[in-house]
Amino acid sequence: MMGSSLAQLKTLYLSFCYRCPCLPPLGQLPVLEKLDIWGMDGVKYIGSEFLGSSSTVFPKLKELRISGLAELKQWEIKENEERSIMPCLNDLMMRGCPKLEGLPDHVLQRTPLQVLDIIGSPILERRYRKDIGEDRHKISHIPEVVKDSRD
């Protein structure tokens, strides 16, 4: 577990860490409610290292905002039935991630998402486009979906 000071963080902003190649295991922060990550061009992949090794990952996280990760291509969460991942996530914002190919099914379908905001991420916008996007069914239950596209 991280140091006791970090364990009490409710809001965390990570910004302009241009040379950082990966995200730290922030999923282990037990009371984190809001996480903003932006301007981290070195990050090309988000995977299990971001989640950490806890049985409940991001247990209190309500708002996740990822923006300006210009080189991010893939975000992957490996399913594990014994693990609870982002059980309180209500608001997900993905902006300025032009190379990102998709969002994890777990985040879209197994969290209580109420708001999904996709702007400046053309691949995602096409993929989740209303009526014609290949994965539109994965977000049809989310009450508020905001995108650049005109649909």
Instruction: List the domain boundaries for the chain.
Output: 6-142
Closest among 17, 15, 112 to 65, alpha carbons compared: 15
Q: Which amino acid is at 67?
A: S
Predicted pLDDT at 131: 84
Please, how many CA atoms are within 13 Å of residue 75, restricted to the half-sphere of its CB?
A: 21
Across the range 1-5, mean pLDDT stands at 62
Quick one: average pLDDT of 2-10? 79
**pLDDT at 130 (0 to 100):** 85
Q: How confident is the model at residue 7 (pLDDT cuts 50, 70, 90)?
A: confident
